[in-house]
Amino acid sequence: MFPPGLFTLQFMQNAWIAGTAIAIIGGIVGFFVVLRGATFVAHAVPRASFAGAAGAAVVGQSSVLGLGTFAVLSALGIASISRERRHGVATALILAAALGLGDLFLTIGHVYAPAVFALLFGQIVGISTHDVRAVLIVSVITVVLFAAAFRPLLLQSVSPHVAEAHGFWTRGLEILFLLLVSGAAAAMVPVVGALLAFSLMVGPAAAGSILGKSPLQALAWSVAFGVLSLWLSVWLAYLTFWPIGFYVSGFCLLFYFAARLIKR
Protein backbone atom coordinates (compact mmCIF):
# COMPACT_ATOMS: atom_id res chain seq x y z
CA MET A 1 0.00 0.00 0.00
CA PHE A 2 2.52 2.59 1.13
CA PRO A 3 5.86 1.61 -0.30
CA PRO A 4 9.02 3.04 1.31
CA GLY A 5 9.98 6.46 0.13
CA LEU A 6 6.47 7.60 -0.70
CA PHE A 7 6.78 10.45 1.79
CA THR A 8 10.50 10.48 2.58
CA LEU A 9 12.23 10.71 -0.80
CA GLN A 10 13.10 14.27 -1.72
CA PHE A 11 11.42 14.20 -5.14
CA MET A 12 8.29 12.63 -3.66
CA GLN A 13 8.07 15.38 -1.06
CA ASN A 14 8.40 17.81 -3.94
CA ALA A 15 5.63 16.01 -5.78
CA TRP A 16 3.29 16.15 -2.78
CA ILE A 17 3.89 19.86 -2.19
CA ALA A 18 3.72 20.98 -5.82
CA GLY A 19 0.85 18.60 -6.52
CA THR A 20 -1.27 19.91 -3.66
CA ALA A 21 -0.62 23.49 -4.73
CA ILE A 22 -1.69 22.90 -8.33
CA ALA A 23 -4.72 20.89 -7.27
CA ILE A 24 -5.90 23.83 -5.21
CA ILE A 25 -5.42 26.41 -7.93
CA GLY A 26 -6.88 23.99 -10.48
CA GLY A 27 -9.98 23.76 -8.32
CA ILE A 28 -10.41 27.48 -7.86
CA VAL A 29 -9.60 28.58 -11.40
CA GLY A 30 -11.67 25.65 -12.68
CA PHE A 31 -14.64 27.04 -10.79
CA PHE A 32 -14.70 29.99 -13.19
CA VAL A 33 -13.78 27.86 -16.18
CA VAL A 34 -16.91 25.77 -15.68
CA LEU A 35 -19.10 28.72 -14.75
CA ARG A 36 -18.14 30.51 -17.96
CA GLY A 37 -18.22 27.37 -20.09
CA ALA A 38 -14.59 28.08 -21.04
CA THR A 39 -13.35 24.50 -21.11
CA PHE A 40 -11.71 24.94 -24.48
CA VAL A 41 -9.61 27.86 -23.24
CA ALA A 42 -8.60 25.84 -20.19
CA HIS A 43 -7.42 23.11 -22.52
CA ALA A 44 -5.74 25.40 -25.01
CA VAL A 45 -3.66 27.64 -22.75
CA PRO A 46 -1.61 24.92 -21.00
CA ARG A 47 -1.33 23.05 -24.25
CA ALA A 48 -0.07 26.14 -26.07
CA SER A 49 2.38 26.88 -23.28
CA PHE A 50 4.11 23.64 -24.21
CA ALA A 51 5.55 25.51 -27.19
CA GLY A 52 7.14 27.95 -24.75
CA ALA A 53 8.83 25.15 -22.87
CA ALA A 54 10.14 23.73 -26.13
CA GLY A 55 11.39 27.18 -27.10
CA ALA A 56 13.04 27.62 -23.72
CA ALA A 57 14.83 24.30 -24.23
CA VAL A 58 16.13 25.53 -27.59
CA VAL A 59 17.62 28.72 -26.16
CA GLY A 60 18.65 27.07 -22.88
CA GLN A 61 16.29 28.90 -20.54
CA SER A 62 14.22 27.55 -17.63
CA SER A 63 11.14 25.77 -18.86
CA VAL A 64 8.85 27.43 -16.30
CA LEU A 65 9.82 30.80 -17.76
CA GLY A 66 8.97 29.58 -21.26
CA LEU A 67 5.71 28.05 -20.05
CA GLY A 68 4.66 31.23 -18.30
CA THR A 69 5.52 33.45 -21.25
CA PHE A 70 3.63 31.35 -23.75
CA ALA A 71 0.69 30.82 -21.43
CA VAL A 72 0.24 34.58 -21.11
CA LEU A 73 0.90 35.22 -24.82
CA SER A 74 -1.64 32.62 -25.94
CA ALA A 75 -4.22 33.97 -23.49
CA LEU A 76 -3.75 37.49 -24.82
CA GLY A 77 -3.81 36.16 -28.38
CA ILE A 78 -7.14 34.48 -27.77
CA ALA A 79 -8.54 37.64 -26.20
CA SER A 80 -7.38 39.79 -29.09
CA ILE A 81 -8.91 37.82 -31.96
CA SER A 82 -11.98 36.57 -30.09
CA ARG A 83 -15.32 37.77 -31.29
CA GLU A 84 -18.48 37.73 -29.31
CA ARG A 85 -19.98 34.25 -29.15
CA ARG A 86 -17.19 32.83 -31.24
CA HIS A 87 -14.38 32.20 -28.75
CA GLY A 88 -14.01 28.66 -30.01
CA VAL A 89 -12.63 29.68 -33.38
CA ALA A 90 -10.05 32.04 -31.87
CA THR A 91 -9.00 29.46 -29.30
CA ALA A 92 -8.61 26.72 -31.89
CA LEU A 93 -6.54 28.86 -34.23
CA ILE A 94 -4.22 30.28 -31.56
CA LEU A 95 -3.76 26.79 -30.14
CA ALA A 96 -2.93 25.31 -33.54
CA ALA A 97 -0.46 28.09 -34.27
CA ALA A 98 1.26 27.65 -30.90
CA LEU A 99 1.54 23.91 -31.45
CA GLY A 100 2.94 24.48 -34.92
CA LEU A 101 5.52 26.76 -33.36
CA GLY A 102 6.30 24.09 -30.74
CA ASP A 103 6.80 21.58 -33.52
CA LEU A 104 9.18 24.02 -35.20
CA PHE A 105 11.22 24.48 -32.00
CA LEU A 106 11.44 20.74 -31.49
CA THR A 107 12.54 20.18 -35.08
CA ILE A 108 15.20 22.81 -35.41
CA GLY A 109 16.30 22.57 -31.77
CA HIS A 110 16.77 18.79 -31.65
CA VAL A 111 15.17 18.54 -28.21
CA TYR A 112 15.64 15.21 -26.44
CA ALA A 113 12.45 13.13 -26.84
CA PRO A 114 11.95 11.92 -23.22
CA ALA A 115 12.13 15.54 -22.06
CA VAL A 116 9.30 16.37 -24.45
CA PHE A 117 7.34 13.38 -23.26
CA ALA A 118 7.67 14.56 -19.65
CA LEU A 119 6.48 18.04 -20.61
CA LEU A 120 3.47 16.63 -22.42
CA PHE A 121 2.40 13.96 -19.97
CA GLY A 122 4.01 15.00 -16.70
CA GLN A 123 6.40 13.05 -14.54
CA ILE A 124 6.41 13.21 -10.78
CA VAL A 125 9.98 11.96 -10.41
CA GLY A 126 11.17 14.93 -12.40
CA ILE A 127 10.13 17.70 -10.02
CA SER A 128 13.17 19.49 -8.62
CA THR A 129 13.23 21.69 -5.54
CA HIS A 130 13.74 24.60 -7.89
CA ASP A 131 10.53 23.66 -9.73
CA VAL A 132 8.63 23.49 -6.45
CA ARG A 133 9.65 27.01 -5.63
CA ALA A 134 8.53 28.26 -9.05
CA VAL A 135 5.23 26.39 -8.81
CA LEU A 136 4.57 27.82 -5.35
CA ILE A 137 5.32 31.38 -6.42
CA VAL A 138 3.04 31.15 -9.45
CA SER A 139 0.33 29.50 -7.34
CA VAL A 140 0.42 32.24 -4.71
CA ILE A 141 0.16 34.95 -7.38
CA THR A 142 -2.78 33.12 -8.95
CA VAL A 143 -4.58 32.73 -5.62
CA VAL A 144 -4.12 36.40 -4.76
CA LEU A 145 -5.40 37.44 -8.19
CA PHE A 146 -8.34 35.08 -7.79
CA ALA A 147 -9.26 36.40 -4.36
CA ALA A 148 -9.04 40.00 -5.52
CA ALA A 149 -11.18 39.44 -8.61
CA PHE A 150 -13.62 36.92 -7.15
CA ARG A 151 -16.73 39.04 -6.79
CA PRO A 152 -16.62 41.04 -10.05
CA LEU A 153 -15.70 37.87 -11.97
CA LEU A 154 -18.52 35.93 -10.34
CA LEU A 155 -21.03 38.64 -11.19
CA GLN A 156 -19.78 38.92 -14.75
CA SER A 157 -19.79 35.15 -15.28
CA VAL A 158 -23.34 34.76 -14.00
CA SER A 159 -24.97 37.86 -15.46
CA PRO A 160 -22.78 39.78 -17.87
CA HIS A 161 -25.41 42.45 -18.51
CA VAL A 162 -25.74 43.35 -14.83
CA ALA A 163 -21.95 43.53 -14.51
CA GLU A 164 -21.82 45.87 -17.46
CA ALA A 165 -24.55 48.01 -15.94
CA HIS A 166 -22.46 48.26 -12.76
CA GLY A 167 -19.70 49.76 -14.87
CA PHE A 168 -17.34 46.78 -14.85
CA TRP A 169 -15.03 46.68 -17.80
CA THR A 170 -16.16 43.51 -19.54
CA ARG A 171 -13.09 43.02 -21.66
CA GLY A 172 -10.79 43.71 -18.72
CA LEU A 173 -12.49 40.99 -16.68
CA GLU A 174 -12.27 38.62 -19.62
CA ILE A 175 -8.51 39.22 -19.83
CA LEU A 176 -8.20 38.83 -16.06
CA PHE A 177 -9.90 35.46 -16.30
CA LEU A 178 -7.56 34.39 -19.09
CA LEU A 179 -4.57 35.47 -16.99
CA LEU A 180 -5.85 33.31 -14.12
CA VAL A 181 -5.97 30.38 -16.51
CA SER A 182 -2.44 31.09 -17.71
CA GLY A 183 -1.16 31.29 -14.14
CA ALA A 184 -2.72 27.94 -13.36
CA ALA A 185 -1.36 26.53 -16.61
CA ALA A 186 2.22 27.63 -15.93
CA ALA A 187 2.12 26.04 -12.49
CA MET A 188 0.49 22.81 -13.64
CA VAL A 189 2.35 21.87 -16.78
CA PRO A 190 5.66 20.91 -15.12
CA VAL A 191 3.83 18.47 -12.83
CA VAL A 192 0.97 16.90 -14.79
CA GLY A 193 2.03 17.82 -18.30
CA ALA A 194 0.67 20.09 -21.01
CA LEU A 195 -1.86 17.60 -22.35
CA LEU A 196 -3.55 16.87 -19.04
CA ALA A 197 -3.23 20.02 -16.96
CA PHE A 198 -6.69 21.07 -18.05
CA SER A 199 -8.32 17.98 -16.59
CA LEU A 200 -7.64 19.46 -13.13
CA MET A 201 -9.36 22.67 -14.23
CA VAL A 202 -12.41 20.88 -15.64
CA GLY A 203 -13.28 17.60 -13.94
CA PRO A 204 -13.28 18.62 -10.24
CA ALA A 205 -14.94 21.96 -10.95
CA ALA A 206 -17.63 20.37 -13.13
CA ALA A 207 -18.38 17.85 -10.40
CA GLY A 208 -18.37 20.67 -7.84
CA SER A 209 -20.76 22.81 -9.83
CA ILE A 210 -23.17 19.91 -10.08
CA LEU A 211 -23.13 19.20 -6.34
CA GLY A 212 -22.69 22.69 -4.86
CA LYS A 213 -25.87 24.62 -4.08
CA SER A 214 -24.11 27.98 -3.80
CA PRO A 215 -20.98 29.39 -5.44
CA LEU A 216 -18.89 28.92 -2.30
CA GLN A 217 -20.08 25.35 -1.87
CA ALA A 218 -19.27 24.59 -5.49
CA LEU A 219 -15.82 26.10 -4.99
CA ALA A 220 -15.22 23.99 -1.88
CA TRP A 221 -16.28 20.78 -3.64
CA SER A 222 -14.14 21.67 -6.60
CA VAL A 223 -10.98 22.13 -4.50
CA ALA A 224 -11.74 19.00 -2.47
CA PHE A 225 -12.17 16.84 -5.58
CA GLY A 226 -9.05 18.31 -7.14
CA VAL A 227 -6.84 17.67 -4.12
CA LEU A 228 -8.27 14.20 -3.62
CA SER A 229 -7.71 13.15 -7.23
CA LEU A 230 -4.19 14.52 -7.18
CA TRP A 231 -3.21 12.76 -3.96
CA LEU A 232 -4.60 9.45 -5.20
CA SER A 233 -2.77 9.97 -8.49
CA VAL A 234 0.59 10.73 -6.90
CA TRP A 235 0.28 7.62 -4.78
CA LEU A 236 -0.71 5.37 -7.70
CA ALA A 237 1.87 6.86 -10.03
CA TYR A 238 4.56 6.11 -7.47
CA LEU A 239 3.29 2.55 -7.08
CA THR A 240 3.12 1.76 -10.78
CA PHE A 241 5.43 4.31 -12.45
CA TRP A 242 2.73 4.94 -15.01
CA PRO A 243 2.34 8.59 -16.11
CA ILE A 244 0.59 10.65 -13.42
CA GLY A 245 -1.53 12.40 -16.04
CA PHE A 246 -3.30 9.15 -16.77
CA TYR A 247 -4.46 8.83 -13.16
CA VAL A 248 -5.38 12.50 -12.78
CA SER A 249 -7.61 12.48 -15.85
CA GLY A 250 -9.12 9.15 -14.83
CA PHE A 251 -10.10 10.37 -11.36
CA CYS A 252 -11.46 13.60 -12.79
CA LEU A 253 -13.74 11.63 -15.11
CA LEU A 254 -14.76 9.38 -12.20
CA PHE A 255 -15.72 12.30 -9.94
CA TYR A 256 -17.64 13.96 -12.76
CA PHE A 257 -19.67 10.82 -13.44
CA ALA A 258 -20.23 10.25 -9.73
CA ALA A 259 -21.56 13.79 -9.32
CA ARG A 260 -23.90 13.41 -12.29
CA LEU A 261 -25.21 10.11 -10.96
CA ILE A 262 -25.74 11.45 -7.42
CA LYS A 263 -27.60 14.47 -8.76
CA ARG A 264 -29.94 12.26 -10.76
Partner 1 sequence: MTWYQYIWAPGIWGNPAVHTAWTAGTLVALASGTVGVFVVMRGQSFTGHALGDVGSTGAAGAFLAGVGALWGFLAAGAVTGGSIEWLGRRVRERDIATGVVMAFMLGLSALFLYLVSIYTNASNAPMAILFGSLFTVSPSLQPALLGLSIAALAILALIYRPLLFSTATPEVAQSRGIPVRLVGLAFMLALVVAAEEAALAVGAILSTALLIGPAATAARMARRPGMAVLLAAGLAVGNIWLGILLAYDSYWWPPIHTGWPVSFFVTVVSLGMYAAGGLIQRVRTTVREGGR
Partner 2 sequence: MKIEQTVQTTPQAALEITDLGVAYESTWVLDHIDLTVKQGEFIGIIGPNGAGKSTLLKTLAGLIRPSRGEIRFPAARGRRHPVGYVPQRFDLDPDLPLRARDLVGLGLDGHRWGFAWPNAQRGRKIEQALAQVDLTGFADHPAGKLSGGQLQRVLIAQALVSDPELLLLDEPLSSLDLASAQTVVDVVHRVSQNLGVTVLLVTHDMNPLLPVMDRLIYVVNGQAVIGTVDQVVQKDVLDKLYGYDVEVLRLHGRILVVGDETASGDAAGFEHR
- Judged by the rule CB under 8 A, the positions of this chain that interact with partner 1 are 34, 37, 39-40, 42-43, 81, 85-86, 88-89, 91-97, 99-101, 103-104, 106-108, 113, 116-117, 120-122, 193, 195-196, 198-199, 202-203, 206, 242-243, 245-250, 252-253, 256
Task: Pick the closest to residue 128 from 248, 230, 25, 17 (CA basis).
Answer: 17
Number of residues that this document lists for the chain: 264
Nearest distance, CB of residue 8 and partner 1, angstroms: 25
Helix H segments across 36-86?
Answer: 39-59, 63-81
Nearer to partner 1, 93 or 141 (CB): 93
Distance CA 70, CA 72 (A): 5
Q: Per-residue x/- marks for partner 2, 59-88, CB under 8 A?
A: ------------------------x-xx--
Told to check if 213 binds partner 2 by CB under 8 A, we report no
Residue pair 22/200 in contact by the 8 Å Cβ criterion: yes
Nearest distance, CB of residue 144 and partner 1, angstroms: 26
Nearest distance, CB of residue 165 and partner 2, angstroms: 12
250 makes contact, choosing from partner 1, partner 2, none, with CB < 5 to 8 Å by partner type, with partner 1
Distance CA 118, CA 126 (A): 8
Told to check if 264 binds partner 2 by CB under 8 A, we report no
Distance CA 75, CA 82 (A): 11
Distance CA 123, CA 15 (A): 9
Task: Pick the closest to residue 26 from 141, 188, 231, 149 (CA basis).
Answer: 188
Nearest distance, CB of residue 31 and partner 1, angstroms: 13
Range list of β-strands (E), the chain: none
Nearest distance, CB of residue 114 and partner 1, angstroms: 8
Q: Which of residues 112-171 bind partner 2 (CB under 8 A)?
A: none
Judged by the rule CB under 8 A, the positions of this chain that interact with partner 2 are 83, 85-86
